[in-house]
Amino acid sequence: MSGPDLPLDDEGLVRLQKLLAASGVASRRKCEELMLAGEVQVDGEVVTRLGTKVDPAAARILVSGRRLPPVSPHVYLVLNKPRGVVSTMSDPQARRTLGDLVADRPERLFHVGRLDTDTSGLILLTNDGDFAQQVAHPSFEVDKTYVAEVDGEVFPRTIKQLLEGVTLDDGPVQVRQAKVIAGRHGRNQPGRSVVELVIHEGRNRIVRRLLEHVGHPVRQLTRTSIGPVRLAGLRTGEIRELSAGELGDLLELAAL
């Protein structure tokens, strides 16, 4: 996501309203109105003077409270990882990897965090090493949503147990949200349920271990969102770029 192609002055600066308009915020006139209304901040300061110049690659710009991503040569991608794909860019055992799915991309990409080989769903890829490291760091407590098909019928008491907190061998787990979204309980077949969990944990196989701990081993697991980024509409194995809004929100959450 390189951002708009802007004519810069000799110091590498551009007029703020021109940057906002070129970034798709609104028309030039509307961007000027937003500035005059005090809706635009640059590096923590409200900017109302029309003609103010900024560095489009370095300035931290907020418009009506939403972060505008900097102009950058980096790319930020969303992948719907299939089951059976290893969350590495290469593998000495010749297993299918994330790298195989983006082999046609010219960039040297990093994966942001991991998904178990047998877990499908949303994973981020980028050639921005600082972004990848910061967003994957344990201190980056962004909510991640998972949908799991599990054995057995999940009753309200189990949901309550999850929300009250569960302690595993490597420490407690805080579940932000939990609900049953489907169930299949026929007379002549064992019960199965589909549950949705929201957590910010990133420990190894945390969702599988959590659900097994409360008596419901996982049969299938998919990550459907990371913070503001949603999987909806992205088919298995497909890739898309983060929208400017998604990237801006992630940059703010990660304090980048």
Query: pLDDT tens digits, residue range 108-120?
Result: 999 998 899 999 9
Residue of 43, 55, 116, 143 marked active site = 116
Burial 7-31 (b: 16+ CB within 10 A, else e): eeeeeebbbbbbbbbbbebeeeeeb
**Is residue 81 scored above 90 in pLDDT?**
yes
Give the residue among 191, 107, 108 at the shortest CA–CA distance from 154. Answer: 191
116 is catalytic: yes
Residue 146 has pLDDT above 70, yes or no: yes
Strand partners, 240: 78
Residue of higher predicted confidence among 14 and 201: 14
Dihedral sign computed on CA atoms, order 166, 172, 177, 183: negative
85-135 residue pLDDT tens: 999 998 899 899 999 999 999 999 999 988 999 999 999 999 998 888 888
pLDDT attached to residue 1: 46
Can you tell me which residue has the tokens 């029309």? 50
C-alpha dihedral (101, 140, 142, 163), degrees to nearest 10: 120
Q: Can you tell me the distance from the alpha carbon of 83 to that of 75, in angstroms, rounded to the nearest whole number?
A: 24
Return the percentage of the chain with pLDDT > 90, whole number.
Answer: 66
Please tell me the total number of residues recorded for the chain in this structure: 256
- Asked if pLDDT for residue 3 goes beyond 70, the answer is no
Query: 125, 110 in Cβ contact below 8 A?
Result: yes
Residue 11 pLDDT > 90, yes or no?
A: no
Q: What's the pTM?
A: 0.85
- Give Cβ neighbours of residue 201 (< 8 Å, ≥ 6 apart): 144, 173, 174
Kindly give the pairing relationship between strand 218-226 and strand 229-230. antiparallel
Flag whether pLDDT at 183 surpasses 80. no
